[in-house]
Structure 1
Amino acid sequence: MKSNNNYEDYEDLTLPYDEEDKEHLHQPSKYDIALGKYETNLDDDKIARETAALIEKHLSENDTAEVKKFLFHCIDLTTLKCTDSEQSVMKFTEKVNEFDDKYPDLDNVAAICVYPNMAEIVNDTLEADHVNIACVSGGFPSSQTFTEVKVAETAMALHAGADEIDIVIPVGKFLEGDYEGMCDEIEELKEVCGDKHLKVILETGALKTASNIKKASILSMYSGADFIKTSTGKENPAATPEAAYVMCNAIKEYHRETGRKIGFKPAGGINTVKDALTYYTIVKEVLGKEWLNNQLFRLGTSRLANLLLSDILGQETKFF
């Protein structure tokens, strides 16, 4: 008895759907396509050797008074303590005001960096010219809160007077491969910032590998970051020369690919003048002199200001 089921016809009907479905399942995302333009499979040992060789070769030539003056001008003078109060932040800001009068031959710091609820105090107190107000935002330092809260906090910080916003990537999403979730959040916060600079913190110590740092750098820039920044200073390790080397190479390659110049900010664990000179050396050698201005290079620190000032003046100075 002949069956009424025409399997050949049925198969012909479904095959195009199955093939299309298979093709869709294996289609790379736009994030995979973006990453595919760059070499992201990096060898940690090779990166360490290249970084060490660069520093050994060039660090000493940058140990000059002029470089130290420039580095001082690149500082985001930072107070992010649980003990911060309106009074303490006001005094902190007043020291920046006083700097111009006390040291008229030196350029002031680049910015004062505070929590969002302190932006208004800084805005009301700050009188020094060409010093920006930066705020950490977006559930700093863990980035573990609702996107709606991050958006609201960022908008409130800008409304209170912030010129720049520093956020942390959702590290957990990145490590799980949820690039869409990570990038959508950065894009949304950049939209809130508009023409104000958005600095995106990778928390490189939590990313562990050079490959992860390279991928996070590319994705952050792809999503609208104006700066990429190493660390919050709340995790160990914080900034490292190796992470800086990878990030600066990512910036260089991204600029070559897109024409966009993205800034670089090491932060966390910058405790000595030599540390600052090390990051200067990496930026100079990898990115070139075009990046040696405080629109594209910042140092996130509080300890370093007095140390650099002491070196510049030739005597121990505790101004800040």
Structure 2
Amino acid sequence: MGIIKKTVDNDIKQQAEKTKKDAAEYGPSKYEQAFKKYDLNVDEKAVDEAVKKIIAEKVPENDNVEVKKFLLGSVELTSLHTTDTDESILAMTEKVNKFDNEYPALPHVAAICVYPRFTELVAQSLEVDGVEITNVTGNFPSSQSRMEVKVAETQLAIADGATNIDIVMPVGKFLSEDYEGVADDINELKEVCGDVPMKVILETCDLGSLSNVKKAAILSMYAGADYIKTSTGKEKAGATPEGVYVMCQAIKEYYDETGIQIGIKPAGGINTVMDAVVLYTIVKEVLGEKWLTNYWFRLGTSRLTNLLLSEITGKETKWF
């Protein structure tokens, strides 16, 4: 064991020395250069105050039926459980199929989000035009497998019929400040996805600060993300108003710099309709009307759908 540890330690030391040598020889990476275009030192107190102001002054005007209908159309109806079965996923898909007949005046959900094992089943069973099939790939939720495994899983998901892909940013690499490695992972999976939209999950609760949330957002967008997403829903916390506010700021600044529009998907911990209305309001106030479509604004949730339906219809509803 001592010999193995010594060998590993030497390899790590040699890699670190090579990285320093490359940096000295070739200068900062394109991602480090990109970072210099943005203010990555987020004032957390200022963010907290800005969010409180939005909630106090702007949320009440959005607490209405029309906004709740819009939110229903932005939901990615999600089932990512260890206990998922063919029968449970098929039942969820059938509810989406029958929804139009039961609620013809309401929008259908934006997507069904499942593990790749169920992609072909959903693709063969889904009958509603306009509902995407989202898959979590790339060794969700940890992103800790070999790159070959991540690539193969993503390729198979798309071959089976996935029309959206959600991956997790390699958080460990990010926390080790291996920004080149993070970007390479994201970029390689985006090449696999091609025209299929790819969302990068930042897992904001694990990043330690809002400054890191902004840095991770900028890095992911430059590396090829079509959307940035808050959370897997599998860690200690999910979407927060403050995290979404900072992500929206990053998207706006990136759009102003590049002209490229990036979508946003809050997910995890969206437990009430008011939670969703708050997030909607933040997106509206920071990013503006251009992002208020069911394409650019998504919500990853399972429980919210019935809660929205209940408030829209005025009676307790458990359709999904």
Q: Report the TM-score, using the length of structure 1 for normalisation.
A: 0.92
Alpha-carbon distance, 1:84 to partner: 0.5
Per-residue deviation, 1:78: 0.1
**2:5 alignment partner in structure 1:** none
1:273-284 counterparts in 2 under 5 A?
273-284=273-284
Structure 1 residue matching 2:138: 3-state secondary structure:
coil
What is aligned with 2:194?
Answer: 194
Indicate the residue corresponding to 2:89 in structure 1: 89
Aligned to 1:151: 151
Q: Structure 1 residue 26: deviation in Å?
A: 8.5
- Equivalents in 1 of 2:209, 2:114: separation in Å? 29
| Equivalent residue number for residue 132 of structure 1 | 132
**1:223 matched to which residue of 2?**
223
Residue by residue over 1:89-111, the C-alpha shift from the partner in whole angstroms, topping out at 9 and shown as x without a partner, is 11110000010110011110000
RMSD of Structure 2 on Structure 1 (CA): 1.2
- CA gap of 1:144–1:23, structure 2 versus 1, over 3 A, is closer
Runs of 4 or more, structure 1, over 3 Å off, are none
1:186-239 per-residue CA deviation (whole Å, 9 max, x = no partner) reads 000000000000000000000020100000000000011000000000112211
Question: Whole-Å Cα distance in 2 between the matches of residues 297 and 113 of structure 1?
Answer: 15
83-92 or 21-30, larger mean C-alpha shift: 21-30
Q: Which moved more, 1:42-51 or 1:191-200?
A: 42-51
Matching residue of 1:286: 286
Render the CA deviation track for 1:124-171: whole Å, top value 9, x for unaligned: 110012101000000000111001100000000000100000000000
Distance 1:177 1:25 in 2: 19
Q: How many aligned positions are there? A: 300
Corresponding residue of 2:30: 30
Q: Which has the larger radius of gyration?
A: 1
**Mean Cα deviation higher: 97-106 or 48-57:** 48-57
1:24 shift after superposition: 2.8
What amino acid sits opposite 2:280 in the alignment? Y
Other structure's SS at 1:297 match: coil
SS in 2 for 1:76: strand
1:25 offset after TM fit, Å? 5.2
What displacement does 1:27 show? 2.5
What are the ranges of 5 or more consecutive residues in structure 2 without an aligned counterpart?
Answer: 1-20
Q: Deviations over 1:21-40 (max 9, x none)?
A: 89935832211100110000
Does residue 1:183 correspond to 2:172, yes or no? no
Q: Distance in 2 between matches of 1:22 and 1:222?
A: 21
Length-normalised TM-score, structure 2:
0.92
* Partner amino acid, structure 2, of 1:197: P
How many angstroms apart in 1 are the aligned matches of 2:62 and 2:293? Answer: 15
Query: Counterpart in 1 of 2:255?
Result: 255
Distance in 1 (CA, whole Å) between partners of 2:170 and 2:23 is 30
